[in-house]
């Protein structure tokens, strides 16, 4: 294990000169680090390209930093501030909840309670390491418990209640299965007897935990001398409506609750109603307490809301239709959406800093890190904008595909290429998951945040699953090309587009997408459409764009949400009824499934992916039309375009898009180029498969191809679509002297100029002799 | 190539022999507890029958049941036994009690002391002398015995922390012999044959050696055994015993977490010695006399045989061993000296066949059955081959069995596709384009399970990269491991090296 480590992250991600930023840095085995602001020009160290290029900006940042180890709290839980003053430990009490454990057994998990692990003090309801529901109490010295007779069945709803009678010193633990036809993993035909009622005298009288240990949902407070207070024995699973009373509720009362009756108000300390708080645009992290003290629970690390509850009847598939059946709050012990580190540097972006992709480079003995961020122009001046795919960067942030997804090698057709840094990353396992990973209970991860070090947006990073750059490091090839071609360009991010809409694009004559603009919010689609309809020009040079319905919660742009639904190339699939974004209220899944296939906006959309080999484009007949032949100036009629590249050796490949009128490609779209000859490792995407039959791979299916399309819009607007992730990564070949770059230069030069486009006059009726 | 043995499909399935309850989940389950402790009386475990998913309540620890049957049977049978056998039962109870306490010293405290009978004897003499010469009434003899036991235990404990186990064992044998010789020399203490007679007792003088006296003797000896077992339980299963158990597993670790195991050992040794002293006093009262026999090496070795036969470290071992040896030694008295040979034979048989005495036979039997099962399975199925009915009973996800069968057949087909030409085709273009055959073989490799799946490690600086082959763990947080020390210059060579490893795995399977 490496002795020296340094990691950092920053917020906000996209800034303008004059704006404030914070850098959070943690060092292990080091106390000092050198910081240097650098502008990133190129990332991939592939010897076929320009290699890693950064431009140092001396004097912009404090150059010698003191760093220390900062700890990261993993796991989703909810904390109830203020309950310590209403603790029930000195008398009788009842704690009741609906729960659906998803990974019982193996280790102790705390469901609910005020329990101090290090002090063995308090009371809590949880699951013991054998997977039985347990209610335990501690007096600071000894711990005693009452345990349900049978283990809980995973992914099954239960009503559980624990009562403590301070007079008789007896505890009672009731567990009642709540198995419906829709709400759980198993149906009613399975002859389990889920119920258990255990009654026992306790030898220990509970004593309220210390004030620093709050009442928690899905975890318990722990302490050690290096970290201080933290939360452990985290829970995997859902918790629905929950109540705490300062009296013993009898069996009749508890059965009435279990059957769906109202929670009694008499003696209530807290009555958390997880079904409250839903709006048409989603729900936040607060779990509402309707009891006398309004002891609301605050979610940490984004417990997943908008999930089906114990009483889900299967008829309504969204919390907007029937919030009363959407009381499930799903907690994961490995969820992590905010490292919550202390800021190491508070910094104001200096005036006059050129717009670009920057990073704070941290160097210390034996370790280095780049913390990338994006600087926009205060007032846009350049004609060209590059839209950095920050949504996509989040979606893939710290993905573990190469290490944990058995099918990854079959998809990529690659044996993973790991670096020593990747091996360290696997061991570290601390900075959370991507939307391509599964939580430890098998559920897909729907949240990804940039409030954590993201190792795979480091400029030199190569995706270990594919042995090539992915996302930001790949996009830097476009930056290098613009830079080395002397273009005047500025940077935008998905987050800016989401926040500002078309206003962010409007100042520019042309906007270039990056290699993989896969994750898009509705506002981003709307803005792109509005830009195109009002004279804007878009070069969509990427693959599999505008694909997943993604969202940000208002006011919290750091965390993106996506739910992977019924179709599409999906790393996981949301459970039935859980396909709507809690951040926005929208149905997630593919934009195509919601009537907005990418073809409707940029002419092309996702058709296949494969990572064995990229190929080249060829001109199609339309490219000889005078409307567009200026784009091919300097390129022969049958010249292969992009026979080399940093993305698997060609300009066409990795993820590829195609023209399709049936999916909404504008009818006047011209097909300028295509690439075919892909291997069967490029199978047709699943959203195209209705009947499955043999031969849907690249060697047999005509839909497996990459297209270059062009169409014009109102007011001299235009859209060029180049459906390939590998395209931009082919620009740096031969120092930028290659047909791909030539084509791009022809187009960018024309698109960046205001006024009519070349060839715009050739719209007459074709009267041909040939 | 040898023809594979045709698999034989045996029928499997068993009736239920174990006693289980079928509780109703809607009925209260009152968990009784031992007064003053948080322990439950019995270790009931709830669960589901994996065949029917019906609710079951099972006694997870059946030892209380066996104790009840064994000791209950003895208690019920004793009044019906003839006098001679009743005396054997008494001897059994007394020696079982001593051995149970001795087991605490050897097993729980881990002190290899052979001075057990020396403690019993010294305390017995002291208590008898106190009664006969000082007129101490018999009930107080227990206190005298226990006190002397504690003092002697304290003296014996001193060297135990300093010298090694075997030397300490020799030392304690010496102590026992010194006691015997010393007492035989103290005329004032024991004028006749070095024994003290006419000791006061809980058995009235006129009942002595009569039926009521024997019955009372048995009853008290039985209670003595119960007390010894209680002591064993209290020490071994509560705080002190748990501390010592932790120390036995890892001394350094337990010390690090604040367990003072030396102190705990000393406590156990002292408590046990006091208990042995108590037994010594009882012994003198039971026979109304005490003689040098208690110190004899024969006696010590006989008890050693009991422990060896039963198994060290467990109360049930001490009791079973005592029962066997006492029955041979006392009940088969007609056999004469042959008895000792018989005991030796049993001892040798037990040490040759069992790992930890008779008490451990059950788990040893299970281990043996497990080994036989593994051997048979290895013999009847080829590597990665068919799942046999026996193995299927242990696989909850039946799809895995289907996968295994499918996989075997697929591999058989793929093996035929692997030719030198195919390998050469991969070498020349690891990332393609590939023939259909090579694509099929590769796709099979790529779809494999995550654990031990190959990956390539890239090291060095840009432009001068070196590659080697690793295997992934498939577990979050667990890094991949290095497969071999070969280093490849280019990525394509590394891809091909992985391919060759996989081909090799395929052909070998």
For B53, which residue in chain A has the nearest alpha carbon? A192
How would residue B3 be classed by pLDDT, with cut points 50, 70 and 90? low
Q: Name chain B contacts of A190, Cβ cutoff 8 Å.
A: 53
Disruptive mutation site among B20, B29, B53, B464 for chain A (greatest number of A CBs within 10 Å) = B29
What's the sign of the alpha-carbon dihedral A258, A263, A266, A270? positive
- The 3-state DSSP class for residue B114 equals coil
User: CA–CA distance from A500 to each of A351, A528, A556 (Å)?
Assistant: 22, 12, 15
What stretch of H or E contains A764? none
For A409, which residue in chain B has the nearest alpha carbon? B446
Q: What is the mean pLDDT of chain A?
A: 95
**Could you say which of B456, B458, B479 has the minimum Cβ distance to residue A427?**
B479
- Length of chain A as a residue count: 770
- Nearest-neighbour CA in chain B from A464: distance (Å): 9
Residue B179 and residue A109: Cα distance in Å, rounded? 59
Q: Name chain A contacts of B457, Cβ cutoff 8 Å.
A: 417-420, 423
pLDDT of residue A428: 80
- Nearest one of A238, A525, A250, A490 to A388, comparing CA atoms: A490
State which of B190-204, B282-296, B378-392 shows the largest mean pLDDT. B282-296
Residue A134 and residue A279: Cα distance in Å, rounded? 35
Q: Report helix angle B116-134 to B83-103, nearest 10.
A: 120
**Could you say which of A194, A406, A418 has the minimum Cβ distance to residue B458?**
A418
How would residue A1 be classed by pLDDT, with cut points 50, 70 and 90? very low
- Nearest one of A264, A136, A283 to A202, comparing CA atoms: A136
pLDDT of residue B158: 82
Cβ–Cβ of A149/B434 closer than 8 Å? no
Residue B465 and residue B475: Cα distance in Å, rounded? 27
Q: Which B residues, 405 through 444, put their C-beta within 8 Å of a C-beta on chain A?
A: 431-434, 439, 442-443
Residue A568 and residue A546: Cα distance in Å, rounded? 12
What stretch of H or E contains B31? none
- Nearest one of B85, B106, B70, B89 to B304, comparing CA atoms: B106
Residue with the bigger pLDDT between A42 and B387: it is A42
Residue with the bigger pLDDT between A302 and A418: it is A302
- B269 to chain A, any CB pair closer than 8 A? The answer is no
φ/ψ of A609, rounded to 5, equals: -140, 150
Q: Name chain B contacts of A413, Cβ cutoff 8 Å.
A: 431-432, 442, 446
Work out the percent of chain B whose per-residue pLDDT is above 70.
Answer: 97
Would you give the DSSP letter of residue A714? G
DSSP A718-749: EEEEEEBTHHHHTTTGGGG-SHHHHHHHHHHH
Cβ–Cβ of B491/A203 closer than 8 Å? no
Residue A574 and residue A447: Cα distance in Å, rounded? 13
pLDDT tens digits for range A523-571:
999 999 999 999 999 999 999 999 999 999 999 999 999 999 989 999 9
Residue A453 and residue A340: Cα distance in Å, rounded? 11
pLDDT for residue A313 is more than 90:
yes
- Nearest-neighbour CA in chain B from A336: distance (Å): 15
Disruptive mutation site among B26, B403, B469, B501 for chain A (greatest number of A CBs within 10 Å) = B26
Task: Quote the longest CA-to-CA distance of chain A.
Answer: 104
Residue A412 and residue B132: Cα distance in Å, rounded? 95
pLDDT of residue B384: 54
Cβ–Cβ of A407/B53 closer than 8 Å? no
Cβ–Cβ of B30/A199 closer than 8 Å? yes
End-to-end CA distance of chain A: 71
Q: Are A41 and A377 in contact (CB under 8 A)?
A: no
Residue A37 and residue A349: Cα distance in Å, rounded? 10
Q: Are A491 and A388 in contact (CB under 8 A)?
A: yes
pLDDT of residue B5: 59
B457 Cα distance to chain centroid: 45
How would residue A737 be classed by pLDDT, with cut points 50, 70 and 90? very high
Cβ–Cβ of B474/A404 closer than 8 Å? yes
Residue B126 and residue B144: Cα distance in Å, rounded? 7
DSSP B318-338: HHHHHHHHHIIIIITGGGTTH
- B252 to chain A, any CB pair closer than 8 A? The answer is no
Q: Which residues pair with A438 in a beta bridge?
A: A444
- Nearest one of A586, A588, A609, A591 to A601, comparing CA atoms: A591
Long-range contacts of B457-463 (CB under 8 A, 24+ apart): B457/A417, B457/A418, B457/A419, B457/A420, B457/A423, B457/B482, B458/A417, B458/A418, B458/A419, B458/B491, B459/A419, B459/A420, B462/A45, B462/A47, B462/A51, B462/A52, B463/A45, B463/A47, B463/A51
pLDDT of residue A93: 98
pLDDT tens digits for range B272-310:
999 999 999 999 888 888 888 888 888 888 888 898 899
Residue A547 and residue A663: Cα distance in Å, rounded? 13
A311 Cα distance to chain centroid: 29
A687 Cα distance to chain centroid: 21
Residue with the bigger pLDDT between A759 and A422: it is A759
- Nearest one of B149, B275, B127, B274 to B202, comparing CA atoms: B127
pLDDT tens digits for range B121-166:
999 999 988 888 888 888 888 999 999 999 999 888 888 777 777 8
Disruptive mutation site among A103, A146, A252, A415 for chain B (greatest number of B CBs within 10 Å) = A415
Q: Are A73 and A216 in contact (CB under 8 A)?
A: no
Residue B429 and residue B287: Cα distance in Å, rounded? 95
What's the sign of the alpha-carbon dihedral B359, B363, B369, B372? negative
What's the sign of the alpha-carbon dihedral B119, B122, B125, B126? negative
User: CA–CA distance from A333 to each of A75, A433, A438, A571 (Å)?
Assistant: 4, 12, 12, 20
| In A78-121, alpha helices (H) | none
pLDDT of residue A124: 98
Residue B349 and residue B363: Cα distance in Å, rounded? 18
A521 Cα distance to chain centroid: 13
pLDDT of residue B293: 82
- B501 to chain A, any CB pair closer than 8 A? The answer is no
For A437, which residue in chain B has the nearest alpha carbon? B476
Q: Are A373 and A358 in contact (CB under 8 A)?
A: yes
For A334, which residue in chain B has the nearest alpha carbon? B476
- The predicted model gives A448-459 an average pLDDT of 95
Q: Are A358 and A374 in contact (CB under 8 A)?
A: yes
Residue A671 and residue A658: Cα distance in Å, rounded? 10
- The 3-state DSSP class for residue A605 equals strand
- Nearest one of A146, A111, A131 to B48, comparing CA atoms: A131
Q: Are A26 and A341 in contact (CB under 8 A)?
A: yes
- The 3-state DSSP class for residue A239 equals strand
Residue A651 and residue B304: Cα distance in Å, rounded? 84
- Nearest-neighbour CA in chain A from B66: distance (Å): 24
Residue A100 and residue A186: Cα distance in Å, rounded? 12
The three-point CA angle B392-B398-B401 to 5° equals: 65
Cβ–Cβ of B33/A47 closer than 8 Å? no
Count Cβ–Cβ pairs < 8 Å, chain A vs chain B.
157
For B449, which residue in chain A has the nearest alpha carbon? A406
- B59 to chain A, any CB pair closer than 8 A? The answer is no
Residue A146 and residue A202: Cα distance in Å, rounded? 8
pLDDT tens digits for range B225-257:
999 999 998 888 877 778 877 777 777 887 887
Q: Are A537 and A718 in contact (CB under 8 A)?
A: yes
Q: Name chain A contacts of B438, Cβ cutoff 8 Å.
A: none
pLDDT tens digits for range A380-427:
999 999 999 999 999 999 998 888 788 888 888 888 888 888 888 887
Q: What is the mean pLDDT of chain B?
A: 87
For B481, which residue in chain A has the nearest alpha carbon? A423
Within 10 angstroms of residue A601's Cβ, the number of other Cβ atoms is 25
pLDDT of residue B1: 45
Residue B382 and residue B378: Cα distance in Å, rounded? 7
Q: Which B residues, 321 through 340, put their C-beta within 8 Å of a C-beta on chain A?
A: none
**Could you say which of A203, A410, A649 has the minimum Cβ distance to residue B446?**
A410
User: CA–CA distance from A571 to each of A394, A396, A559, A612, B389 (Å)?
Assistant: 15, 11, 19, 19, 35
Q: Which residues pair with A175 in a beta bridge?
A: A160, A196
Residue B454 and residue B417: Cα distance in Å, rounded? 21
Cβ–Cβ of B455/A198 closer than 8 Å? no
What's the sign of the alpha-carbon dihedral A577, A582, A584, A585? positive
- Nearest-neighbour CA in chain A from B475: distance (Å): 7
- Nearest one of A170, A198, A161, A175 to B28, comparing CA atoms: A198
Cβ–Cβ of A406/B478 closer than 8 Å? no
- Length of chain B as a residue count: 509
User: CA–CA distance from A743 to each of A617, A637, A647, A736 (Å)?
Assistant: 11, 13, 18, 11
- Nearest one of B224, B273, B243 to B106, comparing CA atoms: B273
Cβ–Cβ of A612/B25 closer than 8 Å? no
**Could you say which of B46, B54, B449 has the minimum Cβ distance to residue A196?**
B46
- The predicted model gives A456-482 an average pLDDT of 92
């Amino acid at each position: 294990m490496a002795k020296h480590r340094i990691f950092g992250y920053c917020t906000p991600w996209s800034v303008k000169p004059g704006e404030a930023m914070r850098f959070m840095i943690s060092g292990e085995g080091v106390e000092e680090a050198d910081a240097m602001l650098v502008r990133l020009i190129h990332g991939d160290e592939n010897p076929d390209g320009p290699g890693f290029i950064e431009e140092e900006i001396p004097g912009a940042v404090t150059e010698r930093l003191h760093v220390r180890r900062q700890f990261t709290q993993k796991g989703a839980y909810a904390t109830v501030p203020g309950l310590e003053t209403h603790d029930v430990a000195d008398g009788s009490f009842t704690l009741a909840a609906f729960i659906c454990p998803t990974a019982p057994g193996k280790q102790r998990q705390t469901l609910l309670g005020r329990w101090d692990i290090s002090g063995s003090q308090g009371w809590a309801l949880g699951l013991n390491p054998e997977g039985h529901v347990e209610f335990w109490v501690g007096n600071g010295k000894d711990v005693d418990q009452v345990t349900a007779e049978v283990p809980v069945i995973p992914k099954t709803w239960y009503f559980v209640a624990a009562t403590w009678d301070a007079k008789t010193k007896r505890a009672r633990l009731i567990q009642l299965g709540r198995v419906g036809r829709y709400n759980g993993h198993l149906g009613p035909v399975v002859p389990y007897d889920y119920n258990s009622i255990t009654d026992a005298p306790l030898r220990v009288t509970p004593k309220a935990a210390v004030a620093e240990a709050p009442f928690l949902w899905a975890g318990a407070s722990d302490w050690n001398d290096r970290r201080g207070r933290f939360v452990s024995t985290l829970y995997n699973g859902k918790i629905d409506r929950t109540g705490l009373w300062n009296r013993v509720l009898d069996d009749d009362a508890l059965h009435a609750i279990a059957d769906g009756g109202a929670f009694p108000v008499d003696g209530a300390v807290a009555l958390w109603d997880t079904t409250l708080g839903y709006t048409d645009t989603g729900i936040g992290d607060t779990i509402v307490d309707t009891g006398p003290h309004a002891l609301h629970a605050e979610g940490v690390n984004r417990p997943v809301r908008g999930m089906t509850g114990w009483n889900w009847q299967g008829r309504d598939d969204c919390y907007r239709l029937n919030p009363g059946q959407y009381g499930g709050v799903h907690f994961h012990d490995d969820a992590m959406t905010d490292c919550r580190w202390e800021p190491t540097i508070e910094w104001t972006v200096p005036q006059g800093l050129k717009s670009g992709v920057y990073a704070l480079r941290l160097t210390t003995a034996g370790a280095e890190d780049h913390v990338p961020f994006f600087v926009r122009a205060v007032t846009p001046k350049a004609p060209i904008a590059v839209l950095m795919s920050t949504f996509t960067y989040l979606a893939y942030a710290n993905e573990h595909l190469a290490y944990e997804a058995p099918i990854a090698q079959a998809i990529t057709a690659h044996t993973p290429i790991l670096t020593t840094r990747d091996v360290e990353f696997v061991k570290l396992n601390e900075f959370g998951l991507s939307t391509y990973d599964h939580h430890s209970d098998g559920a897909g991860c729907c949240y990804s945040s940039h409030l954590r070090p993201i190792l795979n947006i480091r400029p030199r990073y190569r995706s270990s699953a594919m042995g090539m750059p992915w996302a930001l490091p790949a996009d830097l090839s476009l930056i290098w090309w613009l830079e080395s071609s002397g273009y005047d360009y500025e940077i935008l991010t998905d987050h800016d587009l989401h926040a500002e809409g078309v206003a962010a694009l409007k100042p520019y004559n042309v906007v270039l997408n990056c290699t993989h603009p896969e994750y898009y919010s509705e506002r981003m689609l709307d803005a792109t459409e509005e830009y195109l309809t009002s004279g804007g020009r878009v070069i969509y040079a990427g693959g599999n764009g505008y694909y997943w319905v993604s969202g940000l919660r208002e006011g919290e742009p750091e965390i993106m949400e996506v739910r992977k639904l019924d179709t599409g190339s999906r790393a996981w699939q949301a459970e039935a009824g859980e396909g709507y974004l809690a951040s926005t209220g929208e149905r997630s899944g593919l934009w195509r499934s919601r009537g907005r296939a990418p073809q409707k906006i940029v002419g092309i959309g996702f058709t296949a992916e494969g990572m064995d080999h990229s190929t080249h484009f060829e001109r199609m007949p339309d490219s000889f039309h005078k409307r567009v032949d200026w784009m091919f100036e300097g390129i022969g009629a049958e010249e292969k375009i992009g026979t080399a590249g940093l993305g698997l050796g060609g300009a066409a490949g990795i993820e590829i898009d195609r023209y399709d009128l049936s999916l909404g490609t504008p009818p006047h779209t011209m097909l300028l180029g295509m690439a075919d000859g892909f291997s069967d490792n490029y199978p047709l995407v699943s959203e195209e498969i209705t009947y499955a039959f043999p031969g849907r791979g690249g060697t047999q299916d005509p839909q497996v191809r990459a297209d270059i399309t062009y169409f014009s819009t109102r007011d001299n607007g235009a859209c060029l679509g180049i459906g390939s992730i590998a395209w931009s990564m082919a620009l740096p070949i031969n120092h930028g002297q290659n047909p791909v770059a030539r084509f791009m230069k022809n187009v960018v030069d024309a698109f960046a100029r205001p006024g009519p486009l070349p060839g715009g006059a050739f719209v007459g009726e074709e009267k041909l002799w040939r | 190539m040898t023809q594979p043995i045709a698999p034989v499909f045996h029928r499997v399935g068993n009736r239920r022999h174990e006693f289980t309850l079928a509780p109703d989940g809607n009925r209260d389950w009152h968990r009784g507890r031992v007064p003053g402790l948080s322990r439950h009386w019995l270790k009931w475990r709830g669960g589901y029958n994996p065949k029917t998913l019906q609710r079951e309540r099972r006694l997870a620890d059946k030892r209380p049941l066996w104790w009840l049957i064994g000791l209950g049977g003895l208690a019920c049978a004793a009044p019906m036994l003839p006098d001679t056998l009743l005396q054997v039962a008494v001897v059994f109870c007394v020696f079982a009690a001593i051995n149970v306490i001795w087991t605490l010293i050897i097993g729980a405290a881990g002190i290899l002391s052979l001075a057990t009978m020396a403690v019993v004897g010294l305390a017995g003499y002291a208590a008898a002398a106190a009664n006969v010469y000082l007129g101490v009434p018999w009930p107080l003899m227990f206190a005298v015995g226990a006190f002397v036991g504690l003092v002697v235990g304290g003296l014996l404990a001193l060297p135990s922390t300093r010298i090694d186990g075997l030397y300490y064992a020799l030392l304690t044998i010496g102590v026992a012999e010194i006691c015997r010789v010393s007492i035989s020399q103290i005329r004032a203490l024991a004028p006749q044959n070095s024994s003290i007679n006419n000791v006061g007792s809980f058995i009235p003088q006129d009942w002595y050696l009569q039926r009521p006296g024997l019955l009372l003797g048995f009853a008290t000896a039985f209670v003595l055994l119960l007390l010894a077992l209680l002591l064993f339980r209290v020490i071994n299963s509560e705080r002190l015993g748990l501390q010592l158990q932790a120390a036995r597993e890892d001394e350094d670790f337990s010390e690090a977490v604040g367990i003072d195991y030396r102190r705990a050992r000393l406590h156990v040794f002292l408590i046990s010695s006091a208990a042995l002293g108590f037994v010594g006093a009882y012994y003198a009262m039971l026979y109304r006399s005490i003689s040098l026999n208690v110190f004899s090496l024969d006696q010590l070795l006989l008890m050693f045989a009991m422990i060896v036969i039963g198994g060290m470290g467990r109360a049930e071992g001490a009791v079973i061993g005592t029962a066997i040896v006492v029955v041979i030694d006392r009940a088969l008295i007609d056999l004469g000296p042959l008895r000792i040979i018989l005991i030796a034979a049993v001892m040798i048989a037990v040490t040759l066949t069992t790992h930890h005495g008779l008490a451990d036979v059950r788990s040893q039997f299970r281990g043996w059955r497990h080994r036989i099962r593994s051997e048979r399975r290895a013999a009847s199925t080829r590597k990665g081959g068919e799942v046999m009915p026996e193995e299927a009973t242990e696989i909850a996800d039946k799809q895995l069995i289907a996968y295994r069968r499918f996989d075997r057949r697929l591999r058989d087909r793929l093996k035929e596709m692997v030719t030198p030409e195919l390998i050469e085709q991969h070498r020349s273009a690891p990332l393609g384009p590939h023939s259909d055959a090579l694509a099929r073989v590769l796709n099979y490799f790529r779809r494999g399970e995550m654990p031990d799946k190959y990956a390539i490690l890239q090291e060095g600086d840009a432009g001068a990269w070196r590659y080697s082959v690793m295997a992934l763990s498939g577990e979050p947080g667990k890094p991949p491991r290095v497969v071999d020390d070969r280093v490849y210059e280019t990525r394509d060579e590394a891809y091909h090296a992985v391919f060759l490893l996989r081909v090799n795995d395929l052909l070998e399977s």
